[in-house]
Amino acid sequence: MKSDVYLVRTGNSGPGTRRDALLKLLNNIRLFPDCRKDEIIPVKITIGDTKCVYNLSPEIVKLVINDLKRKKTKPFLFDTNVIYKGARLNAVDHLTLAQNKGFSHSKAGAPFIIADGLFGQDGKEYALDSEYIKNIKLPSFIGMLDKLLVLSHVTCHILSGYAGSIKNVSMGMACRPTKQAQHSSLKPHVIIDKCTSCGCCVKICPAEAIALAEKACIDQSKCIGCGECLCACKFDSIFVNWGEDVHIFSKRMAETAGFILSKFKDRFFVNFAFDMTKECDCISTKNEKIIREDIGILASKDILALDRATVDLINETEDVLAREGMKDSYKTLFEHAHKKGLGNTCYNLIIL
């Protein structure tokens, strides 16, 4: 059976058109019609790192929050800490960044919290019966609330090729140890002949796993597989076994997302397919390449159908992801997610 995916097109337009498109979507999908008065509803967002300007704006997020508050619910915004260096490595800096980016209670309409505590370690551990990932650690509120709303800014990604709702859940709703576990198969190596000893990889490595002698050297026992050195190196001297490792990474993401979503009775997902950058919001800056013209806003109760439809629209006239040199490991992600029951790969696209 096909799942319904809703689309409101925006094209390359300004904030006013995007606002109108989102209001049109919200008026047609009747988000969580069975809400209880004072029900607490978590809303997953990502604010991007310090230099990113393409993350979802607080003004857009507030429209969704206002829709929930009209139903007499109590929504809150949340994210988790990351595993690499930057302003989201701990809750103090993360909350400061959110404030600086306009995600105050007044501007976004709801409080913004860091769900996995000060250093990304606060949560509950679970054992998984999985070939690819054995244990995961999740913020404690997961399993306590019935509903979940996920708002995702669509981008490319250096590892998965495409980043949408599934990645936002699997990485963005896990504590730091589980982020590391998902990346653990991605162990980079230095191609000595190409290394210029510039030291960029040493500076950016969050695990301090890279040292510089005559050439860079990666300590595999310390490496967490985050891929930051791949982004930092401008000389193609960092090597990862894409043929195998990145597909394991994709399967781990699918299984982590599936377990997280199983803890909620009612889920809804919205993909914002505009300002689509070649790098994800963790890396992109105002100078980041935009991979194609804006598409619009997509929404569904089926996370897999939503991401599948989004990729199909990105590649509507040509394979944009391949053109931009992105890995096709998102195909493994979709296949494994379908196998594990996350949703359908077939969908009805309903244009509003």
Cβ-based neighbours of 122, under 8 Å, separated by 6 or more: 116, 139, 140, 175
Q: Provide the pLDDT for residue 155.
A: 97
Q: Provide the pLDDT for residue 274.
A: 96
Domains 3-182+244-351 and 187-239 share a fold: no
Q: Provide the pLDDT for residue 83.
A: 81
Q: Give the whole-angstrom CA distance, residue 63 versus residue 305.
A: 24
Cβ-based neighbours of 336, under 8 Å, separated by 6 or more: 250, 251, 254, 255
Q: Give the whole-angstrom CA distance, residue 173 versus residue 19.
A: 26
Side-by-side strand order, sheet with 40-44: 112-114, 74-79, 40-44, 147-153, 266-273, 296-300, 3-9, 347-351
pLDDT tens, position by position, 187-221:
788 999 999 999 999 998 878 999 998 899 999 88
Residues 157 and 175: beta-carbon distance below 8 Å? no
Q: How far lies 122's CA from each of 20, 41, 87, 118, 177, in Å?
A: 39, 20, 18, 8, 10
Q: What residue ranges of the chain have pLDDT lower than 50?
A: none
Q: Provide the pLDDT for residue 244.
A: 59
Report residue 73 CA to chain centroid gap. Answer: 25
Q: Provide the pLDDT for residue 201.
A: 92
**Where are the chain's structural domains?**
3-182+244-351, 187-239
CATH number for the segment(s) 3-182+244-351:
3.40.50.11440
187-239 is classed CATH 3.30.70.20:
yes
Residues 281 and 159: beta-carbon distance below 8 Å? no
